[in-house]
Structure formats: C-alpha cells, structure tokens
A and B are shown apart, each in its own frame.
Chain A
C-alpha cells in the first residue's frame, strides 16, 4: 500500500525516542510508505518492518547500518557482522529491552514497510523525527559509495 499510515508503537524498545513515558501512554507516529518505495534508507532513520520471526507483526526500529557496513554487535552470536547485500541492521534505542538485529541478525530490505516521519500524539511530543545515529552505535566501517 502506498501512502501514509498512523501507527501506535507498543513497548519500551525505542525509548527514549518513542514512548518515553509510563506504559499506559503510547506515542502515535506517522508512517510514510511512499518514501521507502525504492528501498532508500539512511543510517539513523526510524523504520517499520515486518518482523523476520513473526510475519503477522510489524516492529519499529532504527537503521544502524546498511549493506557493506561492519557493525560491532551487542549480544549477537558473532561479535562483528558485515551486512550482506540487500540487508540492513536495525536496533531499538533501548538496548537490552529490544528484539532487534542483535537477536535475529541482518534483515532483508524487502521486509521494510515504512519510515516513521513524525510523532503526532500526544500534542506535547509533536515533532518531526530526524535521522539520528547514536554515536556509540556508528558502524566500524561504513560502505562508502
């Protein structure tokens, strides 16, 4: 489906960027399908994707690395991973509370669903989400074009 969708992320895996408050109060985010139609994502984008472990579920994570990059993992079976062609490495901002690439490895770009562009609700959290790569998570070696 090409267009916009409104989604309510659940859980604490993207704290503090999303859902920083108590359990009962969730952010509402705007997801843009159109912007990822050519699978062009940047490091630092917040994206929604089909979970590789459960196709009935979508997960929202941050893109940490693109194909060709080498990442130092947190709790993955290999300490260093080179991202294969057509794949990306995603992580929740709240490490240790996130089911992400550190659990299931690099994910295929084909599973990408949309990019989260804005937080719409609650009103005091209204903002445009900018691509932001946490400095301690920068890939060791970036694949330069």
Chain B
C-alpha cells in the first residue's frame, strides 16, 4: 500500500520535472504569452493587452526594422520593455527631441538597435537611453490575442516619418 503511494508520488514528480523542462525550453526558444502594460505603444498596443511573442527571430538574428520587440530594460535587467525597432545597426536615426528646433541624426552602432514606442509623446525609449544592444532583445511580438475586438496581427507603425532612408 505504502509502496504504491510512493511509486505514484515519484512518477508524478518525474512527469512534473519533464513538463517543467519542456515548458521552459518552449518559452525560452519558441515563444510565450505576454501581458503588456503602459501607454508607450498606443494605439498599436494598449494597457493590459495580451500578445504572443515569438523567440525564434532573435535566435536566428532576423529581427527587422518595424518589428515590435520585447527586450530587457537597459537600466534594469529585471524588467522588460516593449517597443518598435526604428533602426538596425548602421541605420540613420533622428536623435533630437521633439522640442529641438534643429534635428540631429546619428547612426546606430554595430550590435545595437534603436527602439521607439508608437506613442512618441509618452514613451521612454532610445531617444532617452540611447541605442539598445541586440543581445537584450528577448522576443518579437507578432500577434495580439486580447482584447478580442483587436485580435490579429499587429499594425505597422503610425510613425512612418521616424524611419529614415539613407
């Protein structure tokens, strides 16, 4: 009787560990569900929207200009930021703030990306903390699953003028 209970307990433990490892690998290498908070990506992503993030693009280094990514915050590795990629390494970006009369430009350094929120007026992004190392990117947001009336692929940037062509 006791042996049966112990046998069942160990089997359950074994399944739990297996499930944990598979789930961990899935979240790390494939993707996961993310709840976004904050106004910096409005109107594309609103506060408390639920989105799906895939991690394959960052592992294969095919994040593109215009993608929305989740990254570790450069100044706080324990929190995440959700922004749009405005420039890849080598791209020209506008670094001046909206209040500046004269626009100044810079080139994104090697191994970095330039991130901006879609809500330019209410977003702390690369205009504030500079280019972000590519290695901080955790995943690419590809799909919104909540709210249902906004279900589907995410819209392109409402700020087309921020993407500069050389």
A-B contact pairs, 21 of them (CB 8 A): A1-B28, A39-B78, A50-B133, A50-B135, A51-B111, A51-B135, A52-B112, A55-B134, A85-B75, A85-B76, A86-B73, A86-B74, A86-B76, A86-B77, A108-B74, A109-B77, A110-B73, A110-B74, A110-B133, A110-B135, A111-B135
Task: List 11 extra interface pairs beyond A52-B135, A110-B74, CB under 8 A.
Answer: A39-B77, A53-B109, A54-B110, A55-B135, A56-B61, A84-B75, A86-B76, A87-B74, A108-B75, A110-B73, A110-B135
- The CA of A112 and the CA of B135, in the complex, are separated in Å by 9
Q: Is the interface of B mostly helix, strand, loop or mixed?
A: mixed
Q: Tell me how many residues of A have a C-beta within 8 Å of chain B.
A: 22
Instruction: Find out whether the CB atom of B72 lies under 8 angstroms from the CB atom of A108.
Output: yes
Please measure, in the bound complex, the distance between the C-alpha atom of A86 and the C-alpha atom of B24, giving whole angstroms: 25
Q: Is B108's CB within 8 Å of the partner chain A?
A: no
Contact with B along A53-78 (1 / 0, CB 8 A): 11110000000000000000000000
Is A2 positioned at the interface, with any CB of B under 8 Å from its CB? Answer: yes
The smallest C-beta distance from A66 to any residue of chain B, in angstroms, reads 13
Interface SS, A side: loop
Chain B: minimal CB distance from A123 (Å): 32
B56 at the interface (CB under 8 A from A): no
Task: Please state if B61 and A110 are interface contacts (CB–CB under 8 Å).
Answer: no
| In the bound complex, CA of A39 to CA of B71 (Å) | 16
A residues near B73, Cβ cutoff 8 Å: 86, 110
Complex Cα gap A115–B144 (Å): 37
CA distance A114 to B11 in the complex (A): 32
Minimum C-beta distance from B112 to chain A (A):
7
- Cα–Cα, bound, A55→B73 (Å): 16
Complex CA gap A110/B109 in Å reads 18
Partner of B111, one of A2, A54, A85: A54
Q: Give residues in B with beta carbon < 8 Å to A.
A: 24, 28, 61, 71-78, 109-112, 133-136
Render A2-40 as a binary contact track against B, CB cut-off 8 A, 1 for contact: 100000000000000000000000000000000000110
Nearest residue, chain B, Cβ from A86: B75
Q: Which 5 A-B pairs have the closest CB atoms?
A: A50-B135, A110-B72, A110-B77, A86-B75, A55-B134
Write out the residue numbers on chain B whose beta carbons fall within 8 Å of the beta carbon of A53: 109-111
Q: How far is the CB of B59 from chain A (nearest CB, A)?
A: 10
Residues of A within 8 A of B77 (CB): 39, 86, 108-110, 112
Considering the chains assembled together, what is the distance between the CA atoms of A105 and B152 in angstroms? 41
